Structure 1
């Protein structure tokens, strides 16, 4: 017979998996239970209540993540993630903004060669000019930035040839709510005892916000309802979640 430890203090840490995927560092993981309590007052001498009943109205789970990969953000922003391979873009036609950003259609690989020329219209006597990086323009992942002292002029039509960077693209707010299974593979740092929490159906809501600029490491929160799993019908088994803790 296993004897449960009576006095076990707890300092939690562990790894959170969503549908089997490690979501990275999670600094907080919290259940919230909304409880509705009904009471029957006693009108006999002494007052108080003669009966009381509590019912769980909802169970929710929130997780604070600081790993800003697109797979995690897709949960917070109800998005879809596309994978893009590196490829060559030849003579993409763009209109110059001086000074400003001339946005390319794909993310640039700034380590690769980028060629920028003017576009010669039919019948024009204009000469083809190849512009020089660092003299006529600068390069960022988002596009090229013509320099005021360079030869690229406002509204000039440009041909830009470049190599795209392999990337993942998050298309935000294109999905409806998604249910996931969450597993917390945890450990009690106070005594080294492992524990595992399994949430069968978790439905994160869209994040209330997402900060992209700040003075400290960023983080964002996933929060949503823990739904009942009606496929679990055994007596005494939770439809919501289970926590297994090792005996010590």
Structure 2
């Protein structure tokens, strides 16, 4: 009598896209759409004389919890511009009392900006006349800046990156899921040769719980794989 092998499964894994660690990812799912073609039995008695099931589509989806621009670019077909820290001198803004006067670049708030009147002979005081955020300057109604007043601000821009959303036609990426079966401690791996993600349906940007967003897309057939018995879509390896 052959031995029955029991292997329960609880999955955890690191997801790599084109070699990049995507951070905390859950809900990784494969969906295989099928189409069945049936040949009716015309010789009497009903039923089918033959039947074949074809693979119509293979889809891969996942839930991402890390809101970095690399993940968001994947979710929104975007491109990333590198931002370098540069000094900005005497940028013109118009004060809005207790509202935001947006600056052209994101402000590095660790370096105190200098806010002056247009003549340059009055320098306003941080936290008395205005407060600063990454987005710009907010004049305080309790201070000496007046509504609609023209100001000049000098600051250092924040280094980082900027996501230009919905500018790309979509890219095809390779996906490797480096997993562990937490029930047995055994390693497993899934390798998807070609995944083309579609834009996410939406993002929850403000809330009282940890945010997440879903990305899904088609797993394309890799035409370079021609060996008999080898999948053009994905392969799962396990210990």
Name the TM tier (shorter chain). Answer: over 0.9
- What does residue 176 of structure 2 align with? 183
- What does residue 87 of structure 2 align with? 88
- What does residue 134 of structure 2 align with? 141
Unmatched tracts of structure 2, length 5 or more: none
- Cα 1:73–1:4 change in 2 (3 A) is farther
Q: How does 1:117-196 map to 2 (within 5 A)?
A: 117-120=116-119, 128-196=121-189
Q: Does 1:240 align with 2:239?
A: no
Unmatched tracts of structure 1, length 5 or more: 121-126
Q: CA RMSD in A?
A: 1.8
Moved over 6 A (4+): none
Count of aligned residue pairs for this structure pair? 238
- Cα 1:173–1:86 change in 2 (3 A) is same
Measured after TM superposition, the shift of residue 7 of structure 1 is 2.7
Distance, in Å, in 2 between the alignment partners of 1:38 and 1:96 is 69
Measured after TM superposition, the shift of residue 40 of structure 1 is 3.0
Counterpart of 1:223 (choices 216, 224, 228) is 216
Secondary structure of the equivalent of 1:154? coil
Q: Deviations over 1:183-217 (max 9, x none)?
A: 00111111111111110000000111111011210
Measured after TM superposition, the shift of residue 242 of structure 1 is 0.5
- Cα 1:160–1:5 change in 2 (3 A) is farther
- What does residue 28 of structure 1 align with? 27
Measured after TM superposition, the shift of residue 111 of structure 1 is 1.9
Measured after TM superposition, the shift of residue 5 of structure 1 is 7.6
- What does residue 199 of structure 1 align with? 192
